[in-house]
Amino acid sequence: MTSLYELKDITYKNILNIDNLIIPENKVICIVGESGSGKTTLIKHLNNLISCDAGTIYYKGQNIDEINPIKLRREVVMLPQVPVIFPGSIGNNINIGLTFSGNKPVDDSRLQEVLNIVHLQKGLSDDAGKLSGGEKQRVALARVLLMHPDVLLLDEPSSALDEETEHLVIDSVVKYVRDNNKSLIMVTHTKKIAREYGEGIIIMDKGRVIGKEGIVN
C-alpha cells in the first residue's frame, strides 16, 4: 500500500499532538471524532494551509514544506465546511475554481455533469446566492470535483443535507473518486457514513489519534 501522507511527531498549539500517522494513497479515508477533536485542523495541515509547530509531514515522500504551496494546493484541494459562494450564477461559481487555478473554464455540458454528480437539480444560470445552505454546499463540492485534483480534502461536505440527500451525494462522490483513482480524505460528523464508505477510518480525540481502522502504521 503506497503512502500518500506520513505525519511524524506533529504538534500544533494545544490542538494537535500526533506521534505517527500514515494515510494511504488512492483510498477513501474518513476522519471522525467529537467537535473540537482536531479533525479540521488536521486536514488543513495536509495542503499546508497551516503549518505544524513541530514535526514533519511528508506528501508522496516529500517534506510538505519543500513543495511550492500553489502547486500543492492544485493537487490537494480542500472544501471547507462553510461553502464559499461568489456573486453570480451557479455555472460561474462552479467554473471559478478553474479560473483561480489558471485553467480555462469548461462548457455547460461538463458543468452539468458535475451538477449531476452532486445531485443538484438547478439551472446553471440560476443565482447561486439564492440557494439553501445544502445547495450551496453542493455547488462548492461541484467546483472542487471539476478541478480534478489528485487529493480531495472534504470537511463535513454533507453537514447541511438531509440523510437521503447526504447518502446520494456521498455515494456519487466516492464513486467518482474510485473511478478516477483519486484520494479522498473526508471529515464526517456521521459514523454511519464513515463505516459505509471509509476504506480507512481515523478516530480523533483531543488532538490525538486514538484509533485507526483499515490503516496500517
30-56 pLDDT, tens digit per residue, is: 999 999 999 999 999 999 999 999 999
Average pLDDT score, the chain: 95
User: How many whole angstroms separate alpha carbon 116 and alpha carbon 36?
Assistant: 33
Task: Look at 42-46, 80-84, 107-111, 177-181 and tell me which has the smallest mean pLDDT.
Answer: 80-84
- Is residue 217 scored above 80 in pLDDT? no
Task: Look at 89-93, 163-167, 188-192 and tell me which has the smallest mean pLDDT.
Answer: 188-192
Identify the bridge partners of residue 57 per DSSP, sorted by sequence position: 7
- Is residue 1 scored above 80 in pLDDT? no
Report residue 141's pLDDT band, with 50, 70 and 90 as the boundaries: very high
163-189 pLDDT, tens digit each: 999 999 999 999 999 999 999 999 998
Instruction: Write down all domains in the chain, each with its CATH number in brackets.
Output: 3-213 (3.40.50.300)
CA distances from 180 to 66, 147, 168, 171, 174 (A): 27, 13, 18, 14, 10
Report residue 214's pLDDT band, with 50, 70 and 90 as the boundaries: confident
Q: What is the per-residue pLDDT for 182?
A: 97
Which residues, including other chains, have CB under 8 Å from residue 150's CB and lie 6 or more apart? 75, 76, 182, 183
Q: What is the pTM for the complete model shown?
A: 0.95
